[in-house]
């Protein structure tokens, strides 16, 4: 069993530079490709499910965080920059630790009525948290990270459906990336009153019992974790056992009765009165960097076919093979399949070994005979035998596998049916 940092190094996915700083990993082109595929997948799926995407700034004045409560409860974890145009020692700009207060400002930019809700804002947000250097680790604990963040602003009669829809999205995403075996944890305020939590006992009771009711309705089993809530409300954590058997929180859905009031967010209800909406804070794939780390450990580097940065390596023999491989690469690229041609003057054995080291899911060997017959000889990662098939059959099969987000390619059954 290897740690994600070791796998990331071996597969050339990310780099830690002491000059850049602690907890600030740099993703290589290969690592960036995986994150880009994941982000596009999540963004497209969320838009399909009725989310609207926003782009909000990386930093804001301390005023914003004073309203949200982050200034009082979370300031030690934030990166602060003195604002030279404000009062010395009092005015700051701060890098954002989350996107909620920014999206709330977008909600506030115009009047809302009960008919405008729900509003589902999503953002692929870049966040900053000033973690102690001792706690930093690879892609799992960093000082800057990317979150699939979203806020659903809704009426009380919509909150149950919206919460369940957010949960269904989480389930769809976890299944698609192959992280199965998740369970639920209901994080409540517990015995603690005030302190790190917003002081509004009635709202806490109301939101904690609503979440419990919703969970009971789904019939899923869950565990209650007192003292694990967010400072503005209880949350449902989707828990996962990592490759080492350690419990991790993958994603969270939070129910928030408090922040709309603090920000003065309202909508006009059916009786014509302004009332505060409810807010669900949610993530659908969690922190991208950490999810990548968990995937690397879960699959021990052998990523699902649709996520592999380089899905296919083409290995030509002779000039004729090279021109066929180049043509095939262009064809695959037109269908969004990621491949490259290794035309180095190394032996075939050496080139196979190099592709194997990078855990590329599929190798395609094209020699003189294959090129003349319009065939390809394919070999899956970890297998010793090759299989010959018509180039057109191969292309159709592989483009479909990529489009359908196939986790593991199966070569024995389907392609052999079509050979010759
Ligand atoms: Zn939020």
**Which contiguous run of DSSP H or E holds residue 250?**
strand 247-256
Residue 61, C-beta contacts closer than 8 angstroms, at least 6 positions apart = 83, 86, 91, 92, 93, 94
> What spacing in Å lies between the alpha carbon of 239 and ligand 1's midpoint?
19
Residue 279, C-beta contacts closer than 8 angstroms, at least 6 positions apart = 100, 151, 152, 153, 154, 255, 256, 259, 260
pLDDT for the residue 249: 86
Classify 405 as helix, strand or coil.
coil
Residue 184, C-beta contacts closer than 8 angstroms, at least 6 positions apart = 215, 220, 221, 222, 223, 236, 237, 238, 239
- DSSP secondary structure letters along 67-129: HHTHHHHTGGGS-EEE-TTS-TTT-EEEE-S-SHHHHHHHHTTS--BGGG--EEEEEEEEEE-
> What spacing in Å lies between the alpha carbon of 281 and ligand 1's midpoint?
4
**Which contiguous run of DSSP H or E holds residue 282?**
strand 278-287
Per the CB < 8 A criterion, the answer to whether 45 and 169 are in contact is: yes
> What spacing in Å lies between the alpha carbon of 109 and ligand 1's midpoint?
18
Closest CA to 26 of 14, 34, 36: 14
Closest CA to 379 of 364, 401, 357: 364
> What spacing in Å lies between the alpha carbon of 141 and ligand 1's midpoint?
19
> What spacing in Å lies between the alpha carbon of 280 and ligand 1's midpoint?
8
> What spacing in Å lies between the alpha carbon of 151 and ligand 1's midpoint?
6
List the shell of residues around ion ligand 1, using CB closer than 5 Å.
100, 281
What sign for the dihedral angle of Cα 19, 24, 25, 26?
Answer: negative
Closest CA to 170 of 236, 123, 98: 236
pLDDT for the residue 419: 39
pLDDT for the residue 245: 84
pLDDT for the residue 192: 67
Kindly report the pTM of this predicted structure.
0.91
**Which contiguous run of DSSP H or E holds residue 170?**
helix 159-176
Q: HSE of 395 in the Cβ direction (CA atoms, 13 Å)? A: 17
Per the CB < 8 A criterion, the answer to whether 101 and 134 are in contact is: no
Both tokens assigned to 210:
């609503």
> What spacing in Å lies between the alpha carbon of 396 and ligand 1's midpoint?
43
**Which contiguous run of DSSP H or E holds residue 30?**
helix 29-48
Q: Give the relative orientation of helices 29-48 and 288-298 as an angle to the nearest 10 degrees.
A: 110
Integer Cα distance of 161 and 181 in angstroms: 24
pLDDT for the residue 194: 59
> What spacing in Å lies between the alpha carbon of 252 and ligand 1's midpoint?
10
Classify 346 as helix, strand or coil.
coil
> What spacing in Å lies between the alpha carbon of 179 and ligand 1's midpoint?
24
As beta bridge partners, residue 132 has none
> What spacing in Å lies between the alpha carbon of 100 and ligand 1's midpoint?
4
Question: Cα Rg for the chain, rounded, in angstroms?
Answer: 25
Domains, the chain, in order of start with CATH, read 4-58+96-298 (3.30.930.10), 60-67+76-94 (no CATH), 305-418 (3.40.50.800)
**Which contiguous run of DSSP H or E holds residue 255?**
strand 247-256
Residues composing the chain: 420
pLDDT for the residue 360: 97
> What spacing in Å lies between the alpha carbon of 191 and ligand 1's midpoint?
24
DSSP label at residue 337: -
Q: What is the mean pLDDT of each run of 10 residues along the chain (420 residues)?
A: 95 96 96 97 98 97 91 90 84 94 97 97 96 91 96 95 93 87 86 72 86 85 88 87 84 88 96 96 94 94 95 96 96 96 96 96 96 96 92 95 88 46
Q: Give the relative orientation of helices 159-176 and 29-48 as an angle to the nearest 10 degrees.
A: 150
> What spacing in Å lies between the alpha carbon of 149 and ligand 1's midpoint?
7
């Amino acid at each position: 069993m290897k740690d994600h940092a070791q796998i990331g190094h071996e597969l050339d996915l990310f780099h830690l530079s002491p000059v850049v700083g602690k907890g600030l990993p740099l993703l290589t082109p290969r690592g960036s490709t995986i994150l880009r595929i994941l982000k596009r997948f999540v963004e497209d799926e969320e838009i399909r499910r009725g989310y609207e995407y926003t782009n909000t700034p990386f930093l804001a004045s301390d005023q914003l965080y004073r309203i949200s409560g982050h200034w009082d409860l979370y300031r030690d974890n934030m990166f602060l920059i003195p604002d030279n145009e404000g009062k010395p020692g009092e005015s700051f700009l701060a890098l954002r630790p989350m996107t909620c207060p920014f999206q709330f400002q977008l909600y506030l930019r115009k009047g809302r009525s009960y008919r405008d809700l729900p509003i589902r804002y999503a953002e692929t947000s870049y966040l900053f948290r000033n973690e102690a250097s001792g706690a930093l680790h690879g892609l799992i604990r960093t000082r800057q990270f990317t979150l699939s963040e979203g806020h659903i602003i809704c009426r009380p009669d919509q909150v149950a459906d919206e919460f369940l829809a957010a949960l269904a999205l989480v389930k769809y995403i976890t299944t698609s990336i192959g992280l199965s075996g998740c369970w639920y944890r209901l994080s409540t305020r517990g015995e603690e009153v005030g302190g790190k939590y917003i002081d509004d006992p009635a709202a806490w009771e109301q939101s904690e019992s609503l979440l419990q009711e919703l969970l009971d309705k789904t019939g899923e089993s869950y565990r209650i974790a007192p003292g694990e809530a967010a400072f503005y409300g209880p949350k449902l954590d989707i828990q996962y056992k990592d490759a080492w058997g350690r419990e991790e929180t993958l994603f969270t859905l939070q129910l928030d009765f408090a922040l709309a009031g603090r920000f003065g967010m309202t909508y006009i209800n059916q009786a014509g009165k302004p009332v505060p909406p409810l807010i669900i804070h949610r993530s659908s794939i969690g922190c991208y960097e950490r999810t990548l780390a968990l995937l690397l450990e879960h699959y021990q580097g052998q990523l699902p076919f649709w996520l592999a940065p380089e899905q296919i390596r083409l290995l030509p023999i002779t000039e004729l093979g090279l021109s066929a491989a180049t043509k095939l690469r262009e064809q695959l690229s037109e269908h969004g399949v990621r491949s490259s041609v290794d035309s180095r003057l190394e032996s075939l054995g050496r080139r196979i070994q190099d592709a194997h080291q990078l855990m590329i899911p599929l190798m395609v060997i094209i020699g003189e005979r294959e090129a003349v017959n319009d065939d390809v000889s394919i070999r899956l990662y970890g297998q010793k035998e090759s299989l010959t098939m018509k180039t057109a059959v191969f292309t159709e099969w592989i483009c479909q596998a990529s489009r359908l987000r196939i986790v593991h390619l199966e070569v024995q059954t389907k392609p052999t049916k079509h050979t010759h």
